[in-house]
Structure 1
């Protein structure tokens, strides 16, 4: 790790959910997520007096800040920087517990997770910027870091801004590749934050949390289609949360079906059987559509439905990714099958294939 002087650079990849959406917000329920080769990059450079946070992706450009003792005082609050500020606050809380002296610095953000016009692809940019910021600051302050500690720090920082969600996108940005993710008990974490110091929280096991790296079959090909319409994950999750209380029986049936589906999918990964994975993807699409029906929340938009139907007609399995409502869909297909016709039909229907590949992370210095 680099010390407190000089330019520090860290990056974190974006992600897409493969299966298990919505159910994964419940502690212990499984999902499958993949990290992608598009990144948020953070650079930190020591400064004097005032520091600044700069992002070319944000229209407002930059905010300035200063120190009042060890406290960071932001001169121009802006919600677009909220995840970065939360990550800074949490990492510096951790650094001070380890006896580090607070410094002033400039922080620069560059993201590949949006379209050239600035529209979001739905690749988890808020999670990636949180992870990358914490990674960079841990280098800057020379703090000990493992993937587990990085996940926990980033999960706390992200949750304190967004207030809901599973934090699976954080796990994908930290671990890379294909992962199985089961979310932790967020009520437990909230109680711990009110009673226990941060170092103790991140150094102990979290109830229900499970992150397992997966190996896909060699003949599995992942294709990603973008509908061009952004969606708000937190708003969609809130809508489902409100609706599920009025139909607990249907919701519990959804949870059970999702859990069984993902466990079957995981067997497909363990056995290296792409046909079993394709069956699971099709089943998870059906399960999510049943959730949409009884909650009256639009998960599979007409564009996403068209995207999936075209893929299925071309011998693939497909479904919406993440909260749905727009953004991206994913396709699983045997690598030996041609995809030219599928891609051409997408383009004819204004669906953009994204040239993304899975990003593996072997260590924290990537």
Structure 2
């Protein structure tokens, strides 16, 4: 794909995510997962700017988010300090800082010959609470503008930090590698590896990486990298950091598995925000303690969940094959979902049974570990939702908890109308989201004009 470059300006976007299958198991490289990229995207518009420098060797990066009460972060960098970003002003953002540190150390640009960089970031409505907002539109793009700073606006759990890191990494790479093609294998691999390093460093831990992988590659089945790859990097102040980072990014086989996958035709993803936050790190810690304490029974439970995950994903692929081979039969199958009174097709029953096995085993872990993966309130919501016409199945995505529920429905199912005035769904806000196949993409810079 050719660069969409307008007057030295480029723009990129990366999707949010929902982990449909593989929660907790995704932390182990041997287990696969199914990650869906979502239509809510993080956006970055990057340009070179001429501006005064404190010294010939210094370099200024300005990142701005006019959406969130004009939030702005500015940093000065110098090669002599290993590109450690020196913050100008009071606003801190560890994700921006680690992106800067990682990308600049990788490229080691000669800053005396570089123009400064300015980036404007935007986020689609699905990422944050929509309270106290107003819409701004230029006729092409529309965004919600908040009266508060980004740190004071609740998130919905769609992977905003992974999306932000991925789109910023891409924007900075494009400054030092003008021929960057985000649709190519090499382009995506470079973005993925740098974004994983930056995201882990910003979080202060080595995560599974499925959220960054979805932001780069889109809807995928995913097996993670070994945490030791990033753990073995030297301290960022070390003289060895650059060579170790380049070796990790360019020469090391990360052994991840990221294969494109998509929901079958006429099925769609529905996310319901339940407006109750969950602390994923605490949930993960409790499950980890449970796993060690209950081994080898815990291993048997994980393997049972993994087998059900595999059957679930395989069944989705079989549905797509059926649609291609026998469209009338597939259309009839879809109608059995819309009409709950009709006999369920064996392929659909395989999906329903697989998800039920996954949910049942996570409820067992919930009871034994004290980690609210599928708490009773979410069980009640999912059971009520899956009884509705047009709903195939549902699950608590990701690490579970109280954040959201996720349903697979037919494209003709209007879940908002189905649940309107139903007290069982009074706490649910159905998000305007859909699955997307692609991860990082290049956008037209002109589409973001007159929004700030």
- Identify which range, 128-137 or 221-230, moves more after superposition: 221-230
Task: Say which of 150, 153, 156 aligns to 2:197.
Answer: 156
Tell whether the 8 Å contact from 1:127 to 1:173 is kept in structure 2 after alignment. Answer: yes
SS of alignment partner, residue 62 of structure 1: strand
Matches within 5 A, 1:173-322: 173-176=215-218, 178-191=219-232, 197-204=244-251, 206-272=253-319, 273-314=347-388, 316-322=392-398
SS of alignment partner, residue 52 of structure 1: strand
Query: Once the two structures are superposed, what CA deviation does each residue of 1:155-204 show, in whole Å capped at 9, x if it has no partner?
Result: 1111112214311011111112x310111111233225677522322234
Tell whether the 8 Å contact from 2:13 to 2:440 is kept in structure 1 after alignment. Answer: no
Matches within 5 A, 1:80-229: 81-96=93-108, 103-112=115-124, 113-117=127-131, 118-142=153-177, 144=180, 146-162=187-203, 163-176=205-218, 178-191=219-232, 197-204=244-251, 206-229=253-276
Query: Once the two structures are superposed, what CA deviation does each residue of 1:222-250 show, in whole Å capped at 9, x if it has no partner?
Result: 22111011223233223322443322323
Q: Could you say if the C-alpha distance between residues 142 and 342 of structure 1 is closer, same or farther in structure 2, counting changes exceeding 3 Å?
A: same
Question: Structure 1: any 5+ residue segments left out of the alignment?
Answer: none
SS of alignment partner, residue 435 of structure 2: coil
Query: Once the two structures are superposed, what CA deviation does each residue of 1:71-90 show, in whole Å capped at 9, x if it has no partner?
Result: 232234655x2112212221
| Structural RMSD (CA) | 2.9
Q: Could you say if the C-alpha distance between residues 222 and 127 of structure 1 is closer, same or farther in structure 2, counting changes exceeding 3 Å?
A: same
Tell whether the 8 Å contact from 1:224 to 1:356 is kept in structure 2 after alignment. Answer: yes
Q: Could you say if the C-alpha distance between residues 64 and 237 of structure 1 is closer, same or farther in structure 2, counting changes exceeding 3 Å?
A: same
CA–CA distance in structure 1, aligned partners of residues 289 and 67 of structure 2: 33
- Indicate the residue corresponding to 1:63 in structure 2: 73
Task: Say which of 43, 55, 75 aligns to 2:88.
Answer: 75
Query: Once the two structures are superposed, what CA deviation does each residue of 1:33-88 show, in whole Å capped at 9, x if it has no partner?
Result: 11111111112233423442222465682222223346232234655x21122122
Q: Could you say if the C-alpha distance between residues 334 and 68 of structure 1 is closer, same or farther in structure 2, counting changes exceeding 3 Å?
A: closer
Residue 141 of structure 1, CA deviation: 1.8
Query: Once the two structures are superposed, what CA deviation does each residue of 1:100-158 show, in whole Å capped at 9, x if it has no partner?
Result: 96553222222221122332111000000010001111112226452122111111111
Tell whether the 8 Å contact from 1:4 to 1:140 is kept in structure 2 after alignment. Answer: no
Residue 11 of structure 1, CA deviation: 1.3
CA–CA distance in structure 2, aligned partners of residues 156 and 185 of structure 1: 12
Tell whether the 8 Å contact from 1:15 to 1:36 is kept in structure 2 after alignment. Answer: yes
Task: Say which of 352, 356, 363 aligns to 2:433.
Answer: 356
CA–CA distance in structure 2, aligned partners of residues 98 and 175 of structure 1: 31
Q: Could you say if the C-alpha distance between residues 289 and 139 of structure 1 is closer, same or farther in structure 2, counting changes exceeding 3 Å?
A: same
Which entry has the higher C-alpha Rg, 1 or 2? 2
- Equivalent pairs, count: 364
Tell whether the 8 Å contact from 2:261 to 2:437 is kept in structure 1 after alignment. Answer: no
CA–CA distance in structure 1, aligned partners of residues 419 and 354 of structure 2: 23
- Indicate the residue corresponding to 2:44 in structure 1: 42
Q: Could you say if the C-alpha distance between residues 154 and 35 of structure 1 is closer, same or farther in structure 2, counting changes exceeding 3 Å?
A: same
Tell whether the 8 Å contact from 2:276 to 2:403 is kept in structure 1 after alignment. Answer: yes
Tell whether the 8 Å contact from 2:378 to 2:402 is kept in structure 1 after alignment. Answer: yes
Q: Could you say if the C-alpha distance between residues 153 and 275 of structure 1 is closer, same or farther in structure 2, counting changes exceeding 3 Å?
A: farther
- Identify which range, 122-131 or 276-285, moves more after superposition: 276-285
Task: Say which of 45, 63, 79 aligns to 1:53.
Answer: 63
CA–CA distance in structure 2, aligned partners of residues 363 and 9 of structure 1: 11
Tell whether the 8 Å contact from 1:8 to 1:140 is kept in structure 2 after alignment. Answer: no
CA–CA distance in structure 2, aligned partners of residues 274 and 193 of structure 1: 50
CA–CA distance in structure 2, aligned partners of residues 234 and 137 of structure 1: 29
SS of alignment partner, residue 93 of structure 1: helix
Q: Could you say if the C-alpha distance between residues 171 and 252 of structure 1 is closer, same or farther in structure 2, counting changes exceeding 3 Å?
A: same
Tell whether the 8 Å contact from 1:44 to 1:107 is kept in structure 2 after alignment. Answer: yes
TM-score (norm 2): 0.72
